[in-house]
Amino acid sequence: MEFAPEMLEYANLISSKGLTGFTQGSVQERRDGYSAIGELLGEGPLLREIQDISIPSKSGNVFIKNYIPKTEPKSKILYFHGGGWVVGRLKDFDPFARKLSEITSSIVSLVDYRLAPEAPFPLPLEDAYAALEWISSQKENVWKDLPLVVAGDSAGGNLAASTIMRAKETSGPKIDLQILIYPVTEAICDTDSYKEFELGPGLTKKDMEWFISQYLPNRHTRSDPKASPLYQTDWKDLPPAIVFIADIDPLRDDGKLYAEKLKEAGVPVLFKEFKGYTHGFFTKVNLLKAPDEGLRMISEEMDRVFKRKEVVL
């Protein structure tokens, strides 16, 4: 195990400031700790416009922040942020959403789904699907008839994968591409990477078990494919995928096994394992260079996939 130099510098920075992130304390203390790290990211790039909207969901409303790039939008990205379904506020992901919008020339819709333990499974999934139906219906003005991407990191990658699966099963909105960043794809925590990185560095097995207990308090639901999309049985006809993982991460195998299942079913997959990085690195824009590299790869793959679709049509 060898850290990328910038990953080690980042870890030392967090340590020097005495920040514990989401690993200690009450739910609220963990949320505040996570946001304290987010405050180190600084500002994201300026965009053409930011739109705040609220849409109805099951027994509540969902807030969505839309990031409109300065350039002509090429696509629309529905994005579910990480944070173990428990921590993470939209402001924590604002710099990342801005960079994602700028580099991919896309409208990025960042979803403020309800968090556990106040809103356990399946309520965040209901919010996610309501957001999918909403963005699919947006076709006027700047939205036009843009290709639709569903994306997420960590727990947000779990929501993205499950939302995509539901759309396929119910003949719901058409999704043109999925982007999963070190996604949680199973809630049992028994892969080889969970054994290898049980005690970290960074995210630990104990951390993940705590998050899962908040989101999935009923153990019987943890093997449900809606909670653990790796356990789905029908992998055909899913949209092309981009799957990125960190190699120093208990969730490494969640993403790797999911990508393998997609490939076995004939789904085109762009897969990359970021060597020397720990879980959560990809949204740490401004502090790390690797996210910029990954975002450029995403932008190039989006162009390739959507241009290929145009040729087919």
Let me know: does 69 contact 99? Beta carbons within 8 Å.
no
Distance of alpha carbon 238 from alpha carbon 51, whole angstroms: 30
3-state secondary structure 100-114: HHHHHCEEEEEEECC
Q: What is the DSSP letter of 285?
A: B
Let me know: does 98 contact 127? Beta carbons within 8 Å.
no
Cis omega (within 30 of 0) for bond into 122: yes
Task: Tell me the catalytic residues.
Answer: 154, 249, 279
* N-term to C-term CA, the chain: 46
Which of 84, 97, 80, 109 has the alpha carbon at shortest distance from 34? 84
Residue 32's contacts (CB-CB under 8 Å, 6 or more residues apart) are none
Helix (H) or strand (E) holding 303: helix 290-312
